[in-house]
Chains A and B, each alone.
Chain A
Amino acid sequence: MNIARKWRTRLVTSLAVGSALVLALVGCSTDSGSSEPADDSPIVIGATLGLTGVFSGPSAGYQLAYEYWLDQVNAAGGIDGREVQMVLYDDESNPTVAQQLYQRLINEDKVDVLFAPYTTAVGGAVVPIAERAGILMINPGFVGKEIQGQASLLVSTWPYQDIEYSLGMFEFLDTLPAADMPKTMAVITAQNPFTLAALDGFDGTGGALNYAKERGIDVVVNEQYDQTATDLSSLIETVKASNADLLIALSLPNDAALIARTVNEAGYNPEFYCQCGSQVTSLPNWPDLGEAGINVFASTSAYPGQDGFPGLQEVSDYIAEKTGVPGAPAYSAVAYAAGQVLQQAIEGTDGSLDAQVLREYIATHSFDTAVGTITYNEDGTIDFRQVLLQYQDSGNQVIWPTELATADAVFPLR
């Protein structure tokens, strides 16, 4: 073969490959319509979730809740007579990927409203993108007092923020006679952005350490651990040696189960033991812990079986049917509530999709949602409300708020 022709062919090939790639990328942008939407055009919500990667567990719960909400709202004729669609991408639990996808949602898919992705690490990276684009972002995905404070178009559906995770437990303790109030506390915390905020608070407010201080409870152990640890026995031995009356574990689901087992094996018997980091006692694996899981407290956003939480029972039933597991992960309630807040805001503003108009409406009205009837603070967070559960022999029972209580608290632990 003629050498000159050979390399010419290769040159053409390489240039063709290069230009094809560039064109492929550009091509993605040209197919998006930019026409002004008519009044009967669908309302499009954009979101990502970590459907693969380390956050795929919770993300699956969100996806189901979104699915159910969309089915419900469209079956009932949509919002303000318009169909509701959702463009949902997999961010692979990765903030850089999420950034690319949110830019795409805003600029190519031209969505009307955004829902935030799951967890602070991913959400923190995309909030500035939505802010700069001037798009309303409803946030069922993560808690973070600091991020909420920095964003003007970010509206949370979590009825408590990271720094308030253990507040329900302390508020419950306040209802006890002085003699039952714990004198000493041990707190162990997973090394994760939101559990550490749940420990320390933000700007001097909130956080388990502050709540204990305000009540005169002496902190005798305050340790952090790696959430991927597979053996925490030495940590629990330290806690046991302190003989603290109250054990607060600010953990994520996997390590929560490990801690409960280790506490049981160590024979540590505090008056109160709260897994206050994320809602764990209604997760499918909790009953498998047997005795180790009994009488553990945990805080959550809402629990089915109560009045005043419209849609919660239904979305819980839907998720139970889809996954074969009863109970309501906290995620499903806040995810469903995101749809409810959006629907009520659009209907309340006569079909507006303008970010500022919706934001203004949300700031000044109350919303009936799966996490209760909620009103908003200036920074887009909700006034604190929480449900404290205790996993008793009979299953999860609501202990606090007192008016919702389904059982009396059992203590000491064993």
Chain B
Amino acid sequence: MPTDKSTNPTPTENIALAQAKASVVTTRSIPRWVFPVAAAVIFLVLAPMGAAASLGIVTTLTAILFYVIVAQGWNLLGGYGGYLNFGAAIFVGSGAYMAAWLNDSFDWPVWATLIPGGIAAVVVSIVIGYATLRLRSHYFAIFTLVLTFLALTVVKNTPALGGAIGLFVRVDRGLDSRQIGMLFFYLMFGLAILATVVAYLVENSNFGYALRAISEDEPAAQVLGVKTVSVKLRALVLGAALGGIAGSAWAFWTGYIEPTGAFSVKIALDIVLVCVIGGLGSWLGPLIGSFIVVGLEQILRVTLPGLDLFGFELPAETNRLILGVILIVFALFIRRGVIGLLKKRRGRAIAV
């Protein structure tokens, strides 16, 4: 995992980093160990679920853990760095397609495709990073959205990747439903812990402080010597690697991928939603946000249909409407997300 320890910051860069660090540390009102303990509790409670909970719950929890991995990756640049973007689906899709292609062409199992999936996303992210990271704020956001459509079009027209027809991804046929459910639950579980640890280490490293400095005032950070483009690129690449690995696992879990689903803007939007609601720029935010957004979506999906509201049947769109309202409430009043409610920190809140 890349951190800034290998490089020696210049004196002025040190000032920028120290200021960013100070804005985090000096106003922290909760002891440092509380959040790690909270995360550990969440993972400990989850651990037996793969074997104990019913398969419906296991599937929903697996989806939540998938979102945790991707959102932790996205949060590095999108949250800490303040570069809101809609690019998550590109990296998930790249990983998913690499995994599906390896499985389809060479019968590789899911374990073997995780690293290649991550590498595929890293390669894509480096190309994207060099091309776009000199763009700022909303230009970058729009560009990533356009790139998602570009990736979709390229894959649709690539016969080796199944074109618009897509690819089937096969797991061992000897496994039963419960074994398959457990396999993917624990795979995503392990990866979610990995992603969360990565995010935690980044948050408490010079690399993380450099990202915060960029988020708070990029020109100032640059003037003080923070190598902004390089820092942003590393955040993008690291996030992409997590997205790509998650995408590989997702391809096997879904069993069939085609371009429209793999490069879906819905994934990209949901990831932003997860981080905004959980808390941008906090390693615990994506963890909590994934539970709230994906869990709530699923609960609303299964409870709302057929509900009568004063004689009117609720329309199918109601769950999206409720999530939309929640997003607006968070954007207007709770800009630091659920985590922001639990701790106070100075500095710029990120507008949505």
Contact = CB atoms under 8 A, between A and B. Distances in A.
A227 B329 CA distance: 37
Interface in B256-293: 256, 258, 260-261, 264, 266, 288, 291-292
B19 interface: no
Contacts of A100: 56, 59-60, 63, 298
Interface residues of A, number: 59
A242 interface: no
Contacts of A90: 301, 305, 316, 319
Interface string A290-308: 0000000000000000000
A366 to B, nearest CB: 31
Contacts of A413: none
A222 B328 CA distance: 48
A56 B153 CA distance: 23
B170 to A, nearest CB: 9
B194 interface: no
- Give chain B's interface secondary structure class: helix
Contact of A128 (B38, B58, B255, B288): B255
A99 B254 contact: yes
B61 A25 contact: yes
B180 interface: yes
Nearest to A191: B164
A55 B73 CA distance: 30
B163 interface: yes
B34 A191 contact: no
Contacts of B297: 97
- Give chain A's interface secondary structure class: helix
Given A18-B291, A108-B54, A191-B157, A129 B177 contact: yes
A11 B30 CA distance: 8
A97 B264 CA distance: 13
Interface stretch (B41-49, B114-122, B236-244): B41-49
Contact of A52 (B38, B253, B254, B316): B316
Nearest to B35: A14
Contact of B295 (A21, A51, A120, A197): A21
A370 B163 CA distance: 34
B308 interface: no
B168 A18 contact: no
Given A100-B59, A107-B54, A124 B256 contact: yes
Contacts, number: 160
Given A11-B30, A106-B56, A107-B55, A124 B63 contact: no
A339 interface: no
A210 interface: no
A28 B156 contact: no
B3 to A, nearest CB: 27
A289 to B, nearest CB: 26
A402 B153 CA distance: 42
Interface in B83-124: none
Interface in B307-324: 316-317, 319-320
B302 A14 contact: no
Interface in A155-212: 191-193, 196-197
Interface stretch (A2-10, A36-44, A319-327, A385-393): A2-10
A15 interface: yes
A19 interface: yes
A101 B164 contact: no
Contact of A196 (B165, B253, B317): B165
A322 B66 CA distance: 41
A384 interface: no
Interface of B: 29-31, 34, 38, 41-42, 45-46, 49, 53-61, 63, 153, 156-157, 163-166, 168, 175-177, 180-181, 250, 253-256, 258, 260-261, 264, 266, 288, 291-292, 295, 297-299, 301-302, 305, 316-317, 319-320, 338, 342-343
16 contacts: A6-B29, A18-B288, A25-B61, A28-B56, A89-B302, A89-B305, A95-B256, A96-B63, A96-B261, A97-B297, A101-B302, A103-B58, A121-B258, A124-B258, A191-B157, A193-B166
Name the 5 nearest CB pairs between A and B, nearest first.
Answer: A124-B256, A104-B56, A51-B316, A103-B59, A191-B164
Interface of A: 3, 6-7, 10-11, 13-15, 17-19, 21-22, 24-26, 28-29, 32, 51-52, 54, 56, 88-90, 92, 94-97, 99-101, 103-108, 120-121, 124-125, 127-129, 132-133, 146-147, 150, 191-193, 196-197, 224, 226
